[in-house]
Amino acid sequence: MNTFENTEIAFKYKSNFELKKAYYLFKTISMPWLVKLSNSLLNFALKINLPVKWIIKPTVYSHFVGGESLQKCDRIVKLLGRYNVKSILDYSVEGKEEDEDIEMALQETLASIKNAGTNNNIPFAVFKPTAFAKSYILEKASSEESLNENDKIEFQKFRERVNELCKTAHKNNIPILIDAEDHCYQLAIDKVVTEMLEKYNKEKPIVFITLQMYRKDRIAFLKDALKRAENKNYFLGTKYVRGAYMEKERERAAKMGYPDPIQPDKESTDRDYNAALKFTVEHIDKMALFNGSHNEESNEYLTHLMEKYNLAKNDERIWFAQLYGMSDHISFNLAKEGYNVAKYVPYGPLKYVMPYLMRRAEENTSVAGQTSRELSLLTKEIKRRKNKA
């Protein structure tokens, strides 16, 4: 396909005011010192219950988040849908480990699955596994340390919650993406998700396991996962991302004295990411692919693979996705060309979504070229509209 540089297509859904607002937001995010200072001040303000909603809601929240509830995301879902860009509504409440909080997250995620099942503009449901277990249990189970009786009960509760979510997705015929987490939790999560793949993917891919390709072991894991699926006769749904916890992972490995699980450099991650795309397309009769990437090269590479293997642009087994508020030049240009495209649209009450927003701001400052790319594209479109007027 053509490159992703058509900004008229990329930002057609934004008014002039929204375009300028996005420009000033990314201009602010482009200053790492300001992001760190702002995050520290916001954390402090939230702790002492200072009213900060009036600052956050119309700026960073409205840019990266769909709304406070499923219903309040309707406007965004319909707006994106007009441009053939679908939405995946992600309840982005993090770091809650009390039983009542876990139960609340469970009920909200079940509601999001049922909601997706009734809306053609929402092709997937999604959840973050750490929302449904106490983190120490996942860490203990992943270290293969022996669990005491209470631990076993807690881990079984996690398994039952994940099963309830996957069962509901299967019943509503809506594929469900299970996000990846920190390395120290992932072994236990992979074990449970593999059980769900085997249970619910007999007829078609419903459950999708997420692989973070910045990990050294994921290509081997992927090949083993396909062998298992072929042996047990189920479909393997895979979502690929590069990974979000690199610095944290390296620090933990050094501190705990185990081998660093992360690739030595970006080139190795890119190589394995594209290798995973190729492997999946080559085995697409038994797999489904969710390409969660902001990398232009990987997205373009996947379009070339589809062409090489004579796959239709709208083949229901292959999806492209980016986060809401980022990489519109990739999402909207792909959608215009007829590919299956979705935006990950986080939602939830502002005070609960703050950790997500702070991470988004920090990631935009740390990922080389991310913010400058957004700024240059927004600048280009603002100039194009000005010249046209």
Domain positions in the chain: 1-65+350-389, 69-347
pTM of the model: 0.93
249 and 300 in contact (C-beta within 8 Å)?
A: no
Per-residue model confidence (pLDDT) at position 360:
64
Residue 93 tokens read as 């409440």
Residues in the chain: 389
Per-residue model confidence (pLDDT) at position 110:
98
Which residue type, as a one-letter code, is found at position 381?
E
Residue located via tokens 């062998």: 227
Per-residue model confidence (pLDDT) at position 269:
96
pLDDT by residue (tens digit) across 216-265?
999 999 999 999 999 999 999 999 999 877 888 999 999 988 999 999 99
Per-residue model confidence (pLDDT) at position 247:
82
Residues 6+ apart with CB under 8 A from 382: 16, 19, 20, 23
Per-residue model confidence (pLDDT) at position 364:
55
Per-residue model confidence (pLDDT) at position 51:
60
pLDDT by residue (tens digit) across 174-205?
999 999 999 999 999 999 999 999 999 999 99
Per-residue model confidence (pLDDT) at position 140:
95
Say which CATH architecture domain 69-347 belongs to. Alpha-Beta Barrel (3.20)
* Residue ranges in the chain modelled with pLDDT below 70: 1-2, 31-54, 95, 359-369
The H or E element spanning position 237 is strand 236-241
234 and 223 in contact (C-beta within 8 Å)?
A: no
Per-residue model confidence (pLDDT) at position 48:
52
Residue 187 tokens read as 């072994």
